[in-house]
């Protein structure tokens, strides 16, 4: 199995279509409070790099959620479209957007120390705490 594939998908109403040229097949779950508030649960996403193209861009709203990232959504149906790192324009996108889900595998969980006790995944994954995530990925000040 390849580590990346081309991903094609769309929002709930179909007004926004997306094509990710280098979509990872490894799914990660984010348990941080912001992602859980945004999605109503853990944010299940795939890394899509920077080569992402949208159709229907006039239907995309963007929320500046932190100093380092922004979140996109369809202005018509509200579907979550992306979490984008501002520094390098790297996209992390909800795995449910994409039509080709057969090759996906849950690979890792971040902010594992923030995960509430009312759910647990059975898959064995790589896990990172909040401190480990910030130590590895936080932009230099």
Tokens linked to 60: 């995309």
Cα gap 81→10, rounded to integer Å = 9
**Which three-class secondary structure state does DSSP give residue 67?**
coil
Tens of pLDDT, residues 120-134: 999 999 999 999 998
pTM across the whole model: 0.90
Res 135: pLDDT: 87
Instruction: Give the integer Cα–Cα distance in Å for 85 and 136.
Output: 14
Q: How far apart are CA 48 and CA 40, in angstroms?
A: 22
Residue ranges and CATH numbers for the domains of the chain are 4-137 (2.170.150.70)
The string of pLDDT tens digits covering residues 24-62 is: 999 999 999 999 999 999 999 999 999 999 999 999 999
Sign of the alpha-carbon dihedral angle for 133, 137, 140, 141: negative
pLDDT-based confidence at 83, cuts 50/70/90?
very high
């Amino acid at each position: 199995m390849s580590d990346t594939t081309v991903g094609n998908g769309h929002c709930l109403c179909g007004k926004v279509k997306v094509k990710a040229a280098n979509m990872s097949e490894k799914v990660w779950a984010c348990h941080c409070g912001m992602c859980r508030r945004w999605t109503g649960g853990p944010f299940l996403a795939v890394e899509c790099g920077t080569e992402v193209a949208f159709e229907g861009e006039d239907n995309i709203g963007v929320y500046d959620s932190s100093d380092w990232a922004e979140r996109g959504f369809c202005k018509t149906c509200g579907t979550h479209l992306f979490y984008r790192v501002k520094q390098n324009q790297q996209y992390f996108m909800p795995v449910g957007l994409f039509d080709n889900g057969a090759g996906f595998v849950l690979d890792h969980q971040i902010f594992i120390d923030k995960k509430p006790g009312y759910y647990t995944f059975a898959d064995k994954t790589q896990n990172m705490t909040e401190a480990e995530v910030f130590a590895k990925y936080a932009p230099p000040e």
